[in-house]
Amino acid sequence: MPEAQIIQCAVCGATNRVPLEKIEQGLAPVCGRGKNALPISIHPIRVTDATFSAHVERLPVPVLLDL
């Protein structure tokens, strides 16, 4: 299976698996559920107590946290 990035939709909260090769080709990913544009970021995401569940607990992949 090719490398993929997990991106959460800011509108509906759905998690989307986006192949890295498509991001590298410059294609803009959209949410599979709501068809909204997905944010692409190579920078770390700031997680707070309020967003911890959405950003960490619901992801099906390991997450690295810097506390």
Domain that holds residue 35: 4-57
Q: Is the pLDDT of residue 42 over 70?
A: no
Flag whether 19 is in a domain.
Answer: yes
Q: What's the pLDDT tens digit per position in 1-28?
A: 568 888 888 788 888 999 988 888 888 8
Average confidence (pLDDT) over 23-46: 85
Flag whether 64 is in a domain.
Answer: no
Report the DSSP beta bridge partners of residue 15.
Answer: 8
Domain count for the chain, please give it: 1
Flag whether 10 is in a domain.
Answer: yes
Q: Is the pLDDT of residue 32 over 90?
A: yes
